[in-house]
Every structure is written in structure tokens, then in C-alpha cells.
Amino acid sequence: MNEVTTGQEILIVTGMSGAGRSTVANTLEDLGWYVVDNLPLSMVKTLADMADKSGGALPRIAAVVDVRGRDLFADIQETVNELRHTATVRVVFLDAADDILVRRYESVRRPHPLQVEAGGLLEGIRLERERSQELRATSDVVVDTSSYNVHQLTTATREMFSAEDTAGLQLTVMSFGFKYGAPTDVDLMADMRFIPNPFWETELRPLTGVDPAVKDYVLSREGASEFIDAYVAALTPVFAGFQRENKRHASLAIGCTGGKHRSVAVARELADRLAGLPGVSVQLRHRDLGRE
């Protein structure tokens, strides 16, 4: 890992057109980041050099980069490798499902940047996704904005980047229901469907994993406590390694069928346990609770 010699932080914000780059840029600016939108990638190094000579006047820079360039992946890798000698650099990739992107473009009545080249809106989105898949796979932070409106994306951005000067790892533990689709923007995922479902217990069905009765039922089933103990033990060296590698954000998704009982109870228990690890701060989120 390259040694960083200054306290400067640089975010390269990129991703699918329509996934929320402008919203993220505006939020970062409100948080005090120096944001440059649609900056040619070749200028990012120049901007970083200027900031380095500013005497700490620009400690946090966010460069919003268009993902459509054919050689963007190679260019970003080269730029990031150069910048990491003098700054903490991360690539943030914003994504959303194709049908969501279509809906967003239709609502604003604007053409997709690759629509003419590809021969249609959906074709343009697919071409952009094809060109960006390698970059997405290697980005430091991937945010799927499919389920976010503007206000929710603003909140999520604030949670991720408003406390960048805080040491350690910011961990998001999220419960979800597989029947609503597995999340695509998480680092780790576990499936709680091996635990008997409280849904089939008449008195527990209307309750949720937040209720003590459901929690006690879930955690007392065979294998549940053993899994939690073993999983916390397995995650402990992982999160310590993340911190050594300067990875500041991580996400853990806990799933069950509907995201109401088992995943909620286990996510809450894991969040409590993991919050006790050195250098780890935890945020708990229930994606699908109440959705039914």
C-alpha cells in the first residue's frame, strides 16, 4: 500500500448517467468539499497539485467524472495510482437498475448521452453499462440508488462523507427481504433463511424483528446463536484489515424472505456486537421493514 504523506482526500465520483451524480456532488459541496463537476480526468492530477500547494485550503476534493469514455477505466486506474502517493483517493461509483434509469430519463424528458449512438434510450443505458462494468467492479464505494429519491440519496451521502475525518471504519448493517431483490451495493451478505420463519407462528406474524418476542424466538432457534458468534469472529479480522488498508466504509446485508422478522432481529444483534469492535462505528438500516 502506498504511503500517504499529506492529509488531502480526493473522491472521484462517477457512475451511470441518471444514477445521481449531480445530487451527490451538491451534497458534498454542502458538506464543505471542493467539488468540480464534469472535470476531464487529465485535470484531476493538476487540481490535486494546486490543492497541495494551497497550504491546506482545499483538504477535500471531489471530482465528478463522466463514465462514458471508452478508456475511462484505464485512465482512472493510472490517475488513482499517481495520486495515492500524496493523498487518500477513492472512486465512488453510482449505479441504478436499468428500469429505474429509464424512468428517470423519461420523467425529465432528456436524452441519454449515448442514446443517439446506441439507437435508443435502453440501448444507450446498456452500452454505458458495458463500458463501465470493469470500473464498477474495482471502485472503492458502490452505491445503488435504485430505491432512493433525491432526499434519501442526500441523506445517504451525508452519512457516508460528513465525518471523513473520523478514524476507523463506518459500517452499515442492513436487513432486507430477498423477495424484493438482493442489494447490489454491499460488501458482505448473509442469508437467514436457515432459521425457522416466525411468520408461521400466529402470534408473531404481525410483529417484526424489532419486537422482543420475535427477537427471542429467532435467536433461540437451533444454529442462530452459533452463526452469530462465528460470524462476528470471522468479521473481526476482516474489519481490522479494512482499516489497515484505509477502507473507511463497509456494508453488511442480512437477508430473509420478506425483511420483516429474521433479518431484522439478526441485523440488530450483529450491529450491537460489531459496534464493540475496535475502530468500528455502526449504522443500522432496515431496507424493507414495513414494506409489506
**Bigger pLDDT: 247 vs 90:** 90
Q: Which residues pair with 188 in a beta bridge?
A: 252
Q: Is 67 annotated as a binding residue?
A: yes
Residue 68 annotated as part of some ligand binding site: yes
Q: Is 66 annotated as a binding residue?
A: yes
Residue 147 among known ligand-binding residues: no
CATH superfamily, with its number, for domain 9-161: P-loop containing nucleotide triphosphate hydrolases (3.40.50.300)
156 is an annotated ligand-binding site residue = no
Contacts made by residues 157-161, CB under 8 angstroms, sequence distance 24+? 157/23, 157/24, 157/27, 157/28, 157/31, 158/27, 158/31, 159/283, 160/249, 161/11, 161/27, 161/28, 161/31, 161/33
Please tell me whether 7 is known to bind a ligand: no
Q: Residue 76's pLDDT band (boundaries 50, 70, 90)?
A: confident
18 labelled as ligand-binding? yes
* 22 is annotated as contributing to ligand binding: yes
* Whether this model's pTM surpasses 0.95: no
pLDDT of residue 2: 36
Q: Is 276 annotated as a binding residue?
A: no
pLDDT at 1: 33
Asked if residue 149 has pLDDT above 50, the reply is yes
Stretch(es) of the chain classified as CATH 3.40.50.300: 9-161
- Residue 16 marked ligand-binding: yes
Provide the pLDDT for residue 4.
Answer: 40
> What was the pLDDT predicted at 174?
95
